[in-house]
Amino acid sequence: MCPAKTCESVYLSVVVPCFNEEASLPLFYEEIVKILSPLNQPIEFIFVDDGSEDKTLEILKQLANQDNSVHYISFSRNFGKEAAMLAGLQMAHGKYTVMLDADLQHPPLLVPEMLKEITNEEYDCIVAKRNRSGDPLLRTFFAKRFYTIISILAGTKIPDGGGDFRLMTSTYTKAILNLEERNRFSKGIYPWIGFKVKYIEYENIKRVAGNTKWSFFKLFSYSLDGITAFSTQLLSFAAITGIISFFISIIMFIMLIIRKLFFDVSVDGWTTIVCLIVFLSGIILLSIGILGQYMAKMYTEIKRRPHFIVREVR
């Protein structure tokens, strides 16, 4: 193995986003080196420290001092996994790039198999797709519904379980980097750029150490960000809801006039009116909220702030 800056060509770039992974990093590094060393090819390891508050950065510095093929980027604060993945891909120089987490839920043992599949040049990307065995039933239910809904709204098939653990050619990686939006949703970007992709399924694996940073609320928020960042269908939903509500109100108005003129039936009491006001107000607030989400996305895009700020790089 040799450092990226001194190698004329790097065969494989290993991109690893990290956030508070001090407990699993040494185990991950030992495992990935043991698996990839037999390849006898120039390899670079790119660890992205996403503003960790533990000893993750210290461990990365130790690894970089011991192994010249190890490089790291340290953010000034936590910018999120999307920014960390983008930074790692920007720094990658390899003919192939594999991206996986440091908690060993993405099994490094699959990497040689993924390389074998992609080197026949039939595919541009090999995705390790995990099943959901062992996940809580409620979380699995909502995850499946999310992928179904966003596939419909985005007009692009986004497979359930097809996450960020993937091996990519340099052409595929460059296509991802060409999309410069600030509100990134990689799970939507991957299928949008196309190319030939193959999926390899593997059993769900528990974390080696520590707890997941993705609570149910964070996953729900991430799903909403993904929908608004990658689809405009909600705007159509708001418009259609408004049109339907308008026609319903016209029909009700006509019915009330007919009842009064031909049947001499007075309008029902205040309960009906209050229910209608609450119903229509809810639709109005929902539509305003949807518009606000898209305006917020436009606001962040227009400001053109960087995706991340680097504190230290090696």
101-129 per-position pLDDT tens digit: 888 888 888 888 889 888 877 889 998 88
- Residue 45 pLDDT: 93
Tell me the residue ranges of DSSP E strands in 101-195: 125-130, 166-169
Q: Is the pLDDT of residue 207 over 60?
A: no
**How much of the chain exceeds pLDDT 70, in percent?**
73
pLDDT tens, position by position, 149-188: 766 666 667 666 667 889 999 999 999 999 888 878 888 7
For residues 293 and 308, the model is more confident at 308
Cβ neighbors of 47 (< 8 A, separation 6 or more) are: 16, 18, 25, 60, 63, 70, 71, 72, 73, 102
pLDDT tens, position by position, 29-66: 999 999 998 888 899 999 999 888 888 889 999 999 99
- Report angle CA 64, 68, 72 to the nearest 5 degrees: 40
Q: How far apart are CA 102 and CA 207, in angstroms?
A: 9
Distances (CA, A) of 275 to 239, 278, 279, 282: 22, 5, 6, 11
Angle in degrees, 0-180, between the axes of helices 186-193 and 137-154, rounded to the nearest 10: 50
For residue 203, what are its two tokens? 């059993």
For residues 280 and 264, the model is more confident at 280
Distances (CA, A) of 170 to 13, 90, 185, 261, 282: 10, 11, 20, 75, 48
For residue 264, what are its two tokens? 């001499």
Q: What is the mean pLDDT of residues 191-200?
A: 86
- Give the number of C-alpha atoms closer than 13 A to the C-alpha of residue 164, restricted to the C-beta side: 20
What phi-psi label fits residue 89: left (phi over 0), alpha (psi between -120 and 50 degrees) or beta?
alpha
Q: Point out the least confidently predicted range of 6-20, 241-255, 298-312.
A: 241-255
CATH of 10-211+307-313, one of 3.40.50.280, 3.90.550.10, 3.40.50.300, 3.40.50.1820: 3.90.550.10
- Residue 1 pLDDT: 46
- Residue 92 pLDDT: 92
For residues 140 and 38, the model is more confident at 38
Mean pLDDT taken over the chain: 79
To the question of pTM greater than 0.75 for the whole model, the response is no
Angle in degrees, 0-180, between the axes of helices 216-230 and 270-303, rounded to the nearest 10: 80
Residue with tokens 């003919």: 95
- Residue 281 pLDDT: 76
For residues 24 and 300, the model is more confident at 24
- Residue 265 pLDDT: 63
Instruction: Locate the domains of the chain by residue range.
Output: 10-211+307-313, 233-303
